[in-house]
Structure 1
Amino acid sequence: MPSYNRSFDLSISDVSLIEEALRARGRELSSMRMALKEDNPAHLESIRVIERDQRQNEELLGRLHDQKIFYRPKSAVYVGG
């Protein structure tokens, strides 16, 4: 059985492109979800699948965000905004 590569060499622009694609996919899923009506029983399974995909998409975006290292000055008090 093949094993997975656990080491990736991605540039900042690569990660940015991945995030853009995930956000575009999120917008697409949202549009698909809005087109379906909850009161139609035929749409219920499709709604569940779309919402599961949306959740996975958002979780992946969150994991990418959590791996970023943001600039914080060490010598002075940081004031965000």
Structure 2
Amino acid sequence: MAKLLWGWTIPLGLLLARMGYDEVRAADSAQPELTATLLLTCGLLSALLGLTGMTGVLAWIPRPGRTHRLCTAPNRDAAAQSR
């Protein structure tokens, strides 16, 4: 499931980047520089994020909906040293 999510992030980012390239070519909008810059930057960064997620580098990020318990047990080494 996680690989599928990361896998769809790559084409989505490339689609955003392609929309940015089309915006540069059209140049009919009111602010083509800002729009194209945002689309290109967000598209390429999200594709890079998807690629790094596919390789497993971002495995430390917890999945949405999962809760992680924090260790609340006292440190046994500190208790042993105080005796």
TM-score (norm 2): 0.48
Q: Which has the larger radius of gyration?
A: 2
Q: Name the structure, 1 or 2, with higher relative contact order (CA <8 Å, separation 6+).
A: 2
TM-score (norm 1): 0.49
Higher helix share: 2
